[in-house]
Amino acid sequence: MAAIDLDAYFRRIGYEGGRAPTLETLRALHRLHPQAIPFENLDPLLGRPVKLDPASLERKLVREGRGGYCYEQNLLFREVLQAIGFPVTGLAARVLWNVPEGVVMPRTHMLLLVDVDEVTHVADVGFGGQTLTGPLRLAPDVEQATPHEPFRLVRSGEQFVLQSKIRESWVSLYRFDLQDQIQPDYEVYNWYVSTHPQSIFVNSLLAGRAAPGRRYTLLNNQLSVHHLNGGADKGVLATVAEIREALQTEFRLTLPDAPELDAVLERLTLGPSSNFDG
């Protein structure tokens, strides 16, 4: 398998810094990636397969101007970090964000552990409307700043819970342990969330992008812009043309050449939505 094209990836995210495996490099890449490569699930929504091999990830997310969800985002990010020289481990998590109390979700979210100068960090560029924009030290019960919200990791037995500080309240996003996951694990999880008839990724349009000072999120036809000062602008996109415009403008997404796309987007303007971005 050919190595990831770092030059093309750096152009995609607008990175012009050094290529040494330092904390400065990791922080810069982690900040720029979610600004340039949006979270989106158009392929499973359209009934198209989601491919996780490095060549497919590079073609879709780097060269075609698309985004993706957690497996695509973090597997691509892992390829980049490993090419630079970072030791990286893939993990899996159970989502807690917007999940009712007492409901246990399967381990279908992917995140990364990255070692920098013998210090382990959590990296995750693929968690929708609350995607991290900076790495976190794997240190429990410490509030850590990022370019966006503060985050913290709370110890829960042998596991950790990632929390985000939203409007002065700590909100749990997901729970994970430190068991290594390998490519076949992600292939199984990916097949499940991209094809199960009750999966949110099959039934709803989700998009998210971090920008300096704000976050954009889209659930079906409901667009939200959350500002770091605590304010939010929310609106409903009434037509297919408005959804297309938002995906291309706010989310900087090159839309796939799919004849059925407009029919799918039309359906999303007709029904109610559940909460995606809080």
Active site residues: 70, 109, 124
Cα gap 232→249, rounded to integer Å: 18
Q: Cα separations (Å) of 166 from 16, 104, 132, 148, 169?
A: 32, 23, 13, 10, 5
Which position has the token pair 């920098």?
116
Radius of gyration of the chain measured on its C-alpha atoms: 18
Q: How many CB atoms lie within 10 A of CB 198?
A: 6
User: What sections of the chain are H helices per DSSP?
Assistant: 6-13, 23-36, 42-45, 54-57, 70-84, 183-195, 200-203, 240-249, 261-268
The separation between the first and the last C-alpha atoms of the chain, rounded to the nearest angstrom, is 40
The two most distant CA atoms of the chain are separated, in Å, by 52
Q: Give Cα 4 distance to the centre of its chain.
A: 20
